Amino acid sequence: MLFSLFQVPFAALTFVLLKLFARLEVLGTENLKEVNKPFIAVANHESHLDPQLMGLALLYRPKLFPLRYMAKNQLFYYPGFNLIIWLLGAFRAHKKKGIGKSLMTPTKILEGKGAVIMFPEGHIVAERPFLGEGRRGAAILALTTRAQLVPVALHTPAGLSPWQLLFGRPHIVIRIGAPFYLNNLDYPDFSDENTFAATKVIMEHIGELYHQHTY
């Protein structure tokens, strides 16, 4: 409840600001009717604005909140800012401490019937139109918790800056796809081969949405 009290108004504010200062399109919102908790919203990663765009997209069904997402450990080192991003749903990535450590927090969230946002590429991919290679975290989470997956494609101009947002009316498009599950029978164990195959399936769902856009 605490996270929702901050996240929903922030997502609404983001929506209003982007409607005023950008050409915002949110497509596929009807697919949110089929989303059930626990779920993992998976998207490509083009800009620092992406976590806010994901919140904005899911605002079309507020009952899906609160949302949680992984953030760099360094962002939690700044007093005040760390409290803000925590209230907005961020948790530490624990990078370079092993995938087991990184997935402990999101696993607990999903086991508690929560919602997690993940960017399988693991970093911002600045080239357009190009998807990076997916990492295994989202696939392992989906297989271990049997959480639903919600694919999303995010499209922002390259090098998007605050100046562009204020005066350039950039074209920002969010595409929400139909939710799906990974079939655990297809991946009988968590070997590298199986988890990379499951990751490929996730990236294909994102890619089907992503490549509908023309830059």
Task: For residue range 65-120, list pLDDT tens digits in order.
Answer: 999 998 888 888 888 889 999 999 999 887 766 777 889 999 999 999 999 999 99
- Residue 54 resides in a domain: yes
What phi and psi, each to the nearest 5 degrees, are found at residue 164? Answer: -65, -40
pLDDT over 80 (residue 43) = yes
- Residue 206 resides in a domain: yes
The pLDDT, as a whole number, for residue 214 is 87
Domains in the chain, number: 1
How confident is the model over 114-158, as pLDDT tens digits? Answer: 999 999 999 999 899 999 999 999 999 999 999 999 999 999 998
- Residue 75 resides in a domain: no
Q: Return mean pLDDT, the chain.
A: 93
- Residue 74 resides in a domain: no
The pLDDT, as a whole number, for residue 97 is 67
How confident is the model over 18-42, as pLDDT tens digits? Answer: 999 999 999 999 999 999 999 999 9
Q: What is the largest CA-CA distance in the chain?
A: 52
The pLDDT, as a whole number, for residue 95 is 74
Q: pTM value?
A: 0.94
Residue with tokens 């922002």: 156
- Residue 142 resides in a domain: yes
- Residue 118 resides in a domain: yes
**Residue 41's CATH number:** 3.40.1130.10
Cis ω for the linkage preceding 129 (within 30 of 0): yes
Which helix (H) or strand (E) segment holds residue 26: the answer is strand 23-27
Domain around 52: 2-69+97-210
The pLDDT, as a whole number, for residue 1 is 65
Nearest to 58 by CA among 38, 33, 83, 85: 33
Q: Compare 93 and 9 and report the one with higher pLDDT.
A: 9
